[in-house]
Chains A and B, each alone.
Chain A
Amino acid sequence: MNNENIVGFLKQKADFISGTEMANALKITRAAVWKRIKHLRKNGYTIESSPSKGYKLIKTPDLSIEEIKDSLTDTTKIIGREIIFYDSLVSTNITATELAERGYADGTVVISDCQTGGKGRLERKWLSPPGKNLYMSIILRPEILPRNASMLTIISAVSSAIAIRRLSNIHVSIKWPNDIMVSEKKLGGILTEMKADMDRLHHAIIGIGVNINMDISDMPDDIKQIATSLKNETKTSLSRTELAIEILKELDKWYSILLKTYKGKEDIGIIIKEWSRLSSTIGQKVKVTAVNKVFTGIAEGIDEDGYLILKLSNNSLKKISAGDVQHLRRG
């Protein structure tokens, strides 16, 4: 049973709509309509009801899975065909991994209102209070070799940056490989984890976290210096629902393009070009901190696997697969 259509009806009308009208249109009983209204109320919708006039939508929740599902139904091919919502999780990536191991399909999305153990690269903590930000993970099962999987990181950064720019008008940029930045402050991060052996990628989990309505005062002191939120940049609150929809729609588009490149039907250059357009790293003097080494050089670009090409001071080129990038000056 779904509640999407009911929300659609309620949204169309600024005024009351009768239960009978909805029941007839949806070919369900009035009791079923009532059951769905009850379900929506439980999920944060404020719906006024009057015995003579019917139902009226007063307020939609800031994070509405019903609306996300509704928006994606006719628009995405793979991403978001199934969306699972939780009030609280340790980490959406952990839950998505468990679901992937239980066989959940390509494109399944896990969203949580908050995370008690949100994490980034090398198990760094990701601040995840309830009611403020977006935390979601997407299960992907592309039929590709694990060694070709690094582009999944690139397309998730591209999708997130495009969606945030479109919705907020904030000029976010990508710091290699996939941090979403406003100037030099971090707005969002993406962590991809995969299970693979030599010849097969079992699944990849794309974890996306975006700071939306978190105030700077909500952040601990060490985070304040390096992080920001959309609310802090725009001075207005943004809808978590709408941002989730936009990111998932874009991801569906870029994932389809990526799958086509593996079949030789699309040029990988399209993705590289888009990433480069959105990136603030290319052309910059950067410092890359890897585990045992630090490299300084000019970021020349990314290769077709998405690896960073660094031009060192002796003009030789160094390929970087992992590390923390610091922009040394604006290009």
Chain B
Amino acid sequence: MELDDLKDLMGLLKDTDITELQVEKDGVKVKIKRERFFGHLEVHPTAPSVKEESKKEEVLETEKGLFTITSPIVGTFYRSPSPEAEPFVEIGARVKKGQVLCIIEAMKLLNEIESEIDGVVTRILVENGHPVEYGEPLFLIEPVS
């Protein structure tokens, strides 16, 4: 969830009589509470514990047997090396361990994210050019042996 999303939510509340709103998106829970008489907004982000503890392992085996590739830094997500170039991978692509999946950029520091396993890309969780948080899941990979 982004700051802009929060602002939208708060704007939405402003002109209504609703005093409390709880939203969950992408695993992030946000509770917005409004004191009617003072007219100000209180924001209580309640981060889920998974994100908070940001596990040491980059690759986590999920229940479905899919591997999650997460971002090691806060930055901007790029699916291709340049705006004109083809994406590194598409859904359904067979990838090898060590193959570059995307680039995360933070202040011109470009971090190539590699697949940790041989497998098939089953989901791409972030849109090109979007900001990502530390530990945010980027790809789901179905392992092949």
Q: Chain B residues near A323 (CB, 8 Å)?
A: 76
A146 at the B interface (CB under 8 A): yes
A164 to B88 CA separation, bound complex (whole angstroms): 37
Residue pair B107, A196 in contact (C-beta under 8 Å): no
Q: Chain A residues near B106 (CB, 8 Å)?
A: 149-150, 153, 305, 307, 321-322
Measured CB to CB, the closest approach of chain B to A323, in angstroms, equals 8
Residue of B nearest to A200 (CB): B72
A316 to B6 CA separation, bound complex (whole angstroms): 12
Tell me the A268-314 residues at the B interface (CB within 8 Å).
290-293, 305-308
Q: Chain B residues near A150 (CB, 8 Å)?
A: 73, 106-107, 109
Interface size on A, residues (CB 8 A): 39
0 or 1 for each of B106-145: is its CB under 8 Å from A? (1 = yes) = 1111111010100000000001111100110000000000
Which of B78, B107, B116 touches A178 (beta carbons < 8 Å)? B107
Q: Chain B residues near A293 (CB, 8 Å)?
A: 129
A300 to B55 CA separation, bound complex (whole angstroms): 33
Q: Chain A residues near B72 (CB, 8 Å)?
A: 145-147, 196-198
Chain A CB within 10 Å, residue with most, of B7, B73, B78, B116: B73
0 or 1 for each of B44-62: is its CB under 8 Å from A? (1 = yes) = 0000000000111110000
Residue pair A305, B74 in contact (C-beta under 8 Å): yes
Which of B7, B73, B83, B110 touches A291 (beta carbons < 8 Å)? B83
Measured CB to CB, the closest approach of chain A to B47, in angstroms, equals 16
Residue pair A152, B109 in contact (C-beta under 8 Å): yes
Residue pair A194, B83 in contact (C-beta under 8 Å): no
Chain A CB within 10 Å, residue with most, of B70, B74, B111: B111
Interface size on B, residues (CB 8 A): 35
Measured CB to CB, the closest approach of chain B to A199, in angstroms, equals 5
Residue pair A147, B107 in contact (C-beta under 8 Å): no
Chain B CB within 10 Å, residue with most, of A121, A122, A149: A122
Which of B58, B73, B130, B131 touches A149 (beta carbons < 8 Å)? B73
Q: Given contacts A122-B83, A198-B57, A322-B75, are A291 and B108 in contact (CB under 8 A)?
A: no
Q: Chain A residues near B22 (CB, 8 Å)?
A: none
Q: Given contacts A123-B82, A194-B111, are A322 and B76 in contact (CB under 8 A)?
A: yes
Residue of A nearest to B57 (CB): A198
Chain A CB within 10 Å, residue with most, of B70, B74, B83, B109: B109
Chain A CB within 10 Å, residue with most, of B74, B85, B107, B114: B107
Residue pair B75, A321 in contact (C-beta under 8 Å): yes
Q: Chain A residues near B57 (CB, 8 Å)?
A: 198
Residue pair A198, B110 in contact (C-beta under 8 Å): no
Q: Given contacts A150-B106, A150-B107, A152-B109, are A198 and B74 in contact (CB under 8 A)?
A: no
0 or 1 for each of A116-132: is its CB under 8 Å from B? (1 = yes) = 00000111100000000
Question: Other than the known A121-B110, A153-B106, A196-B111, what 15 A-B pairs have Cβ atoms closer than 8 Å?
Answer: A122-B83, A123-B81, A124-B82, A145-B72, A146-B111, A152-B109, A194-B109, A195-B114, A198-B55, A204-B109, A291-B129, A293-B129, A307-B106, A307-B107, A322-B105
Residues of B within 8 A of A (CB): 3, 7, 54-58, 70, 72-76, 78, 81-83, 85, 105-112, 114, 116, 127-131, 134-135
29 contacts between A and B (CB under 8 A): A122-B78, A122-B83, A124-B82, A146-B73, A147-B73, A147-B134, A149-B73, A150-B107, A153-B107, A153-B108, A177-B108, A178-B107, A192-B110, A193-B111, A194-B111, A195-B112, A196-B72, A197-B58, A290-B129, A291-B83, A291-B129, A292-B127, A293-B129, A305-B106, A307-B106, A307-B107, A308-B107, A318-B3, A322-B76
Sort A-B residue pairs by CB-CB distance and give the 9 closest, nearest first: A291-B129, A123-B82, A198-B58, A322-B76, A177-B107, A146-B72, A322-B105, A192-B109, A292-B129
